[in-house]
Structure 1
């Protein structure tokens, strides 16, 4: 800890004074964490999952996408229509689309992704919930 009596300008390096950390949570031994209420061990929501959608001719998909190659973050579900087949299949805002009908969607142009989704009658999607990158995606791109 630096001596608070030294004038600020006399410190040899740039200094940031931080307040003391208030009320740190009690330490919990690792072997007790799995059953502890303060620890959320439920990570399955972030695992990749497969979603199957059948789309009759002329029907809407029931979801919107954003992103693509330009953003370098991939394609994300940006909106899901309530009570649509997509909604019932478990798609949610913030899902990254990893692939559609065996086409890799992780480095695909936005327009190509839209074309594949619009023309397919049956859509087998591999998605994963990735809210952190979805936020970055929204900040980085307009569509």
Structure 2
């Protein structure tokens, strides 16, 4: 039997008059499947002409793509940024602070960047102390990072450093 639920055509063995809250097996949905927020808490509506300038409606996704940052650190010099997180948080290593007008700032590092790797060492599942050691001892730092503010915020809530 085919019936219409929430605007989608759904194949189902049960009748449409049964409880609409009943879970439908994923395989019974016709493509495309779109899951919307619950009716009780819809997202805030903004008029289309205002969305262009609203930060929550940014369609430019390239800012979230991985990018490479190269830093040269003279002996005794500071990195120009701080990190937080690590293996204990299960969310990775993130840039937590960038010193204004530092080499890191000029290279494009920003708070909320997740450090994916440094000099070909995977930073996605590394202890905080090991990450600090690698960053402090390296003269040339080749970092692969991506801006990931959602996990950074979650990570800040979980950790103290």
TM over 0.5: yes
Structure 2 residue runs without a partner (length 5+): 1-19
- 1:73 and 1:96 map into 2 onto residues whose CA distance is 9
Q: Deviations over 1:14-53 (max 9, x none)?
A: 9999999899999999999999999532000000000000
SS at match of 2:55: coil
Greater RCO between the two (CA within 8 Å, min separation 6)? 1
Which has the larger displacement, 16-25 or 82-91? 16-25
Describe the shift of the 1:31–1:123 C-alpha distance in structure 2 as closer, same or farther (beyond 3 A): same
Q: TM-score, normalised by structure 1?
A: 0.75
What RMSD over aligned residues (CA atoms) do the two structures have, in Å?
8.0
Q: What number of residue pairs does the alignment pair up?
A: 142
Q: TM-score, normalised by structure 2?
A: 0.67
Structure 1 residue runs without a partner (length 5+): none
- 1:3 and 1:116 map into 2 onto residues whose CA distance is 53
SS at match of 1:86: helix
Describe the shift of the 1:93–1:24 C-alpha distance in structure 2 as closer, same or farther (beyond 3 A): closer
- 1:105 and 1:8 map into 2 onto residues whose CA distance is 35
Describe the shift of the 1:130–1:57 C-alpha distance in structure 2 as closer, same or farther (beyond 3 A): same
- 1:139 and 1:127 map into 2 onto residues whose CA distance is 21
- Deviation, 1:9, is 37
Q: Deviations over 1:67-108 (max 9, x none)?
A: 000000000000000000000000000000000000000000
- Deviation, 1:5, is 27
